[in-house]
Amino acid sequence: MRRRTGTIAAVGAAFVAGVVIGPIMGAGAQEGGRAETYRLLNLFGDVFERIRAEYVEPVNDRDAIENAIQGMLSGLDPHSSYMNPRMYRDMQVQTRGEFGGLGIEVSQEGGYIKVISPIDETPAARAGVRPGDLITHLNGNSVQGLSLQEAVEQMRGERGTAIRITIRREGAERPIELSITRDVIRPQVVRFRMEGGDIGYIRLSSFNEQTEAALRRAMQQLRQQAGANLKGIVLDLRNNPGGLLDQAVQVSDDFLEQGEIVSTRARRQEDAQRWNARAGDIAQGLPIVVLINAGSASASEIVAGALQDHRRAVVMGVKSFGKGSVQTVMPIPGNGAMRLTTARYYTPSGRSIQATGIEPDIEVLATREDATQQAAARRDREADLRRALRNDNAGQQAQQPAPPLPPLNLPAGLLERVQRQPAEGAAAFDPTRPETDHQLQQALQLLRGIAAAPNPQRRAAR
């Protein structure tokens, strides 16, 4: 038995070493020496062998190892995780802009699955799933004890197959049962239309490989429709959960002539990166309003922060989600990939929005109820996720305070005309009727006011 234990311990240690020995050895040598690192790896091997020998039912070695790796990564923060080969393939398909499932972006909270945002025109959105919903059961089985990846894997499946989900919703007296038929999710990442013949409306629902190219096509078609009548652009990032960093950089670059877009800072100073804008503004200097809310996360916040810091756009709505970390996907040949948080990102002025979010220049609530539900809104953000990374603005500001943002410089009296919340008795929001969208209507009013002002001053990039 002793020889077998030693063999299994060595195999377990070698497997773990093959995945993470580089960073672990570097950290271990600094903190307690290699002997301590090897002792801990042997501990893993001992536990692994005890499970194989004495668990009440036979254990699949691969499942046990993958569960151990998943636990190691998910214990770091809410966004680091292990993907087995199938999950990794699914992630690659989703990044390309097509995947099978329900069409929701989720996180994990208190053992339940929390909906960050349903994707437009998907089975989940059509079934009435809302941001902030807690999914408690899948096909009648509790999600307690499932990792986020395991729950996501259960929700995905072949087109035409159905799944029952149980939702706990703020304000609902009892759980909500929904039966949703899976579909091939091909989210239309960019939607656009003219508002009133003079304002272009562009909604980005996510940032995948198709986003920036689709944005350029939308802008071109809006110009063709409006001609010289185009007075401004509304860029709607509400409930956009984010996506690819390079797409966020390209979208920001599309509206900036120069200056920094975003920077990332990793554990080692030499791994820091910075992205700068190139000349060329697809909106040709037209005023822009960016709409955000608590469902605007990650790449959405990069775009909103870049345009806000350069005063290229007025950011309107409510505070964003606050996911200011960068995840790097590291393939493990033959064994899927690991998604590891490797850096924080910073807006051009040096702000980290991790766990704080982007504060709008002008706060405008979607409904009157929002004014009395601030506590509920706070629970829907990054800062409330377990093991969320802290915000390091205080430490950075102590060394080199970020400069204050330039003033908005709006035409006199225009800001005072913006209504913070809908009028009493206003029609309830209906996504098929833009006139019921209070935040959008305030954005349109602001843009028309800017365009009507004599000699409107164009905002220059830093």
**Helices and strands (H, E) in the chain, number of each type:** 12, 19
Which one is catalytic: 300, 323, 380, 437?
A: 323
Sign of CA dihedral 297, 186, 192, 215: positive
Q: Kindly provide the b/e burial profile for residues 142-175, where b requires at least 16 CB atoms within 10 angstroms of the residue's own CB.
A: ebeebbbbebbbbbbeeeeeebebbbebeeeeee
Which one is catalytic: 183, 309, 370, 437?
A: 309
For residues 238 and 317, give the distance between their C-alpha atoms in angstroms, rounded to a whole number: 9
For 294, the token pair is: 């608590």
Burial of 209 per CB tally in 10 Å (0-12, 13-18, 19+) = middle
Residue type, 84: N
Residue type, 341: T
Half-sphere exposure of 244 (CA within 13 A, CB side): 17
pLDDT of residue 346: 96
Phi-psi region at 279: left, alpha or beta (left = phi > 0; alpha = psi -120 to 50): beta
For residues 306 and 313, give the distance between their C-alpha atoms in angstroms, rounded to a whole number: 9
CB 193 within 8 A of CB 187: no
For residues 441 and 271, give the distance between their C-alpha atoms in angstroms, rounded to a whole number: 43
For residues 233 and 201, give the distance between their C-alpha atoms in angstroms, rounded to a whole number: 6
pLDDT of residue 334: 84
Q: Kindly provide the b/e burial profile for residues 11-49, where b requires at least 16 CB atoms within 10 angstroms of the residue's own CB.
A: ebbebbeebbeeebeeebeeeeeeeebeeebeebbeebb
User: Can 231 be counted among the known catalytic residues?
Assistant: no
For 109, the token pair is: 């909270």
Q: How many other C-beta atoms lie within 10 A of the C-beta of residue 427? A: 11
DSSP letters spanning 125-147: HHHT--TT-EEEEETTEE-TT--
Residue type, 138: L
For residues 325 and 341, give the distance between their C-alpha atoms in angstroms, rounded to a whole number: 7
CB 354 within 8 A of CB 392: yes
Q: Which of 331-334's residues contact partners 24+ apart within 8 Å by CB, and which partners?
A: 331/88, 332/19, 334/85
Contacts for 407 with CB less than 8 Å, ≥ 6 apart = none
One pLDDT digit (tens) per residue for the chain, 462 residues: 433 333 333 333 333 333 333 343 444 445 557 889 999 999 999 999 999 999 999 999 999 999 999 999 999 999 999 998 888 887 887 787 767 789 888 888 888 999 987 887 889 999 999 988 999 999 999 999 888 878 988 998 888 999 999 999 988 999 999 999 999 877 678 999 999 999 999 999 999 999 999 999 999 999 999 989 999 999 999 999 999 999 999 999 999 999 999 999 999 999 999 999 999 999 999 999 999 999 999 999 999 999 999 999 999 999 999 999 999 999 998 889 999 999 999 999 999 999 999 999 999 999 887 665 554 444 468 888 888 898 887 555 545 666 788 889 899 999 999 999 999 989 988 877 899 999 999 999 999 999 998 865 444 333
In Å, what is the CA distance from 319 to each residue of 217, 240, 398, 457?
Answer: 29, 13, 24, 27
- Unique residue bearing structure tokens 């078609």: 221
pLDDT of residue 397: 52
User: Can 323 be counted among the known catalytic residues?
Assistant: yes
Residue type, 68: A
For residues 94 and 171, give the distance between their C-alpha atoms in angstroms, rounded to a whole number: 33
pLDDT of residue 327: 94
Residue type, 302: I
For 296, the token pair is: 């605007």
- Unique residue bearing structure tokens 């802290």: 390
Question: How does strand 232-236 pair with strand 134-138?
Answer: unpaired
For residues 70 and 61, give the distance between their C-alpha atoms in angstroms, rounded to a whole number: 14
Residue 24 phi, psi dihedral angles, 5° rounding: -65, -45
In Å, what is the CA distance from 39 to each residue of 33, 312, 437?
Answer: 10, 55, 60
For residues 143 and 113, give the distance between their C-alpha atoms in angstroms, rounded to a whole number: 7
pLDDT of residue 398: 47
For residues 237 and 205, give the distance between their C-alpha atoms in angstroms, rounded to a whole number: 7
Residue type, 440: L
Which one is catalytic: 205, 298, 300, 352?
A: 298
